Structure 1
Amino acid sequence: MTTPPDSARPRFGVNYTPSRGWFHHWLDFDLDDVRADLDSVAALGFDHVRVFPLWPLFQPNRTLIRPRAVEQLVQLADAAAERGLDVAVDGLQGHLSSFDFQPSWTVTWHRRNIFTDPDVLDGQAAYLRTLAAALADRPSFLGMTLGNEINQFSGDPHPDPDRITPAQAGDWLRRMLAACEEGAPGRLHLHAAYDAAWYADGHPFTPAHAARLGAATAVHSWVFNGTAQRHGPESVAVGQHAAYMIELSKAWADDPHRPVWLQEVGAPAPHVPADRAAAFTRTTVEAALDCPDVWGVTWWCSHDVDRALADFPELEYTLGLLANDRTVKPAGRELAALVAEARAGGFRPPAPRTTALVVDLPEEPVERAVCGPGGAVFEAFMRLAADGARPTTVLAGRAGDRAHLAARGITELVTVEEAGVGRSASPVSRPVC
């Protein structure tokens, strides 16, 4: 495995979007094209890629996992390793860039809830176990993520969701993570949710699921979620959004030093104007690296979506660090410079964040819009950050747990009211007694 010299040093990588054919490249898999793409990624100094098999193509029937498709995934992983790139694999795709990819045995005439139907669960577990086992002997294999933001299938605003309870979501996550562990024991197996898990009232996938199940907490930070619209592209809130999500996750984590993977973050136009993409990249990554216990940063995405492909939301076409011809864009140059600086200067882990914003929510919250853009917790955090603090968060139920606070290095507590949200007074804090 391409392990950084300093084990405490964060990893830097990209979500691999093929320059030709997007993820439809699995239909016409060309290893030479993949190698050329990976050459352009490795040239930027990254140490890993996150890759995305398309579930319906790899498992077109519940009892058929195509050996040729699995072989092509292994070929991609081997090609990455030859270029010094480790590989993390997402299994159930699932959902990518506004398109859903579900196999025919789960939809229309075979419509079944993908989180609770026993036959579907057996098929999913077999699929995840098979992918993990195929890569288990590769030192460059990091581990499995269950799927890309698969929580979006479980509720609004999906047009046809498979509705479940939080308990059922937890059961599904535990079973699928166990299947990955069976296939490749001891690897970095985790799950990834889009920000409804943190911000949406009533969403069945919860902050506790994200922060307690799996080997690390995955954070997907997108400022088109209302942050940029509310605060503007040059605001503290936009620059600190990824750091906020990292620190918000720690309120629910049982392990005070649980690793957090900033698994997706990007500069979506026009919410981040093209001429500010490089500056946004630097500000966002530097803020994330100022958070303790960050496993790594994986940018979305490697290459632009080819405009010959129709019907993507406009912002999806320009998220790449590289253009379709593999030329490096300004954000790509900036991120490569950040990677080089981090490695040349010798990484020093950030100091603990000693000021904690108290999040007055239960362990399993139904209401959590207060944590999203415009919510009291979100706005209080950003006010503290704007005033020069380096805030983290703690649940109200743990605010009196001295051992927990000490383990995280927290010495001051601030409530939403004390942060001065909605009034002009300066924030105040009180020491931990």
Structure 2
Amino acid sequence: MKKFSSKISNWLTPVAMKFSNQRHLCAIRDGFVVLMPLVIVSSFFILINNVILDSNNGILRNIVDLSRYQAIGNQVYNGTLGFLSILIAFTVAYKLSESYGEDGLISGVISVAVLVTMFPSTLEIVPIGADKPVEVMGAISQNETSATGLLFAIISALVGTEIFLRLQKNNKFKISLPDTVPLAVSKSFSALIPAFITLTLFGVIVFIIESLFGFGLQDLVVKLIQKPLSAVFQGMIGINIVMLFQNLLWSLGIHGTFVLGPITEPTLLVAIQENINAFNVGLDIPNIVTKPFIDSFAMLGGGGCTIGLIIAILIASKREEDKGIAKLSIAPGLFNINEPLMFGLPVILNPILAIPLILVPLINLNIAYIATRLGLISKTVVMVPWTTPPILSAYLSTAGDWRAAVLAALLIGISIIVYLPFVMATNIVSAHTELEDENTEI
């Protein structure tokens, strides 16, 4: 078993490492890391607005009307998740440019300009009291600036930055100024012609696409890339494949969530944004699989649903050192941080524990998916921080559905049951290993 695990590790680890170190994927991943504080801040305000202050679903709705204070959270949302695509365009371009050893600040500014250049030039709105929509010039919708437009923003940042940097490296497009000119001014002028060509290029592309198809470049990206990718994630087969690969990487000591983040994060954030938008206006919630759905039901205690493993070790393990590590892992595990357990036990490269580490999240994911599809629990409509403790995260992410909390508790119970026989198996293996060591010493 150990030889088989070693062979898989030797084959898959270099592939995963090469994938995770790919320049553009690293830029996306690092761009999200920069914005993580804003996402968490926004999540708290969305949580407060929907679970506490909402006049229809808030837990205080029968006691006092606090709905007018939702305006505070709405303002914070406008500057965080409501502006996320603009921010990610800057951070991704910044990180990508840095990876080439170039000035990230200029590239980030150009990337935002490229993104806004490709936004629709007119916006249809229906004025209060009017029957027909009217076209407004110079207005930008949150469909473009919020998490809904993430994929388009990332693509525009990557493509725009690559074009800009290549033009900037060409000496033909550089404007040379005397040495007496301040360095900041010189850098700005050296970017003038590359920026002009880059923005003109994207402006022409948008014009051609709108002329040929009657819709913008963003709509084209949504139709060709975002919708198919979303369909994969919303289907049971697709999300199971993603989770299988993610936890397989975890079993090999590779941070699966971190490696696949550049692909999964934008799609799952778009899904929860669509759910939030529908929930706020009273429409049917469109998506089952979102980032808080995965966090609340498939990653209880962290990757591999290791909260169940901690409890199983405390119940059945005969190794005092394992119990000691499990006890130390309880506190971080309650906030879905499982590195102390993964590397301390260790769980990684452990051929026995690798099996439940891969299976448990898949079991929990499918149970939660089926329960949601059958209407036994509500769909996730609140973006809660991934560090929210298990059970509570399920309750909050579904806007206070107690059934979701009960399901999360049941899933922890299932996790314990699945992990128990494998923990018992480690007792047997450890006993044999200790016996062999004693015989060797004799």
After TM superposition, the score normalised by the length of structure 2 is 0.26
Considering fraction of residues, name the structure with more helix.
2
> Radius of gyration: which is bigger?
2
Considering fraction of residues, name the structure with more strand.
1
After TM superposition, the score normalised by the length of structure 1 is 0.27
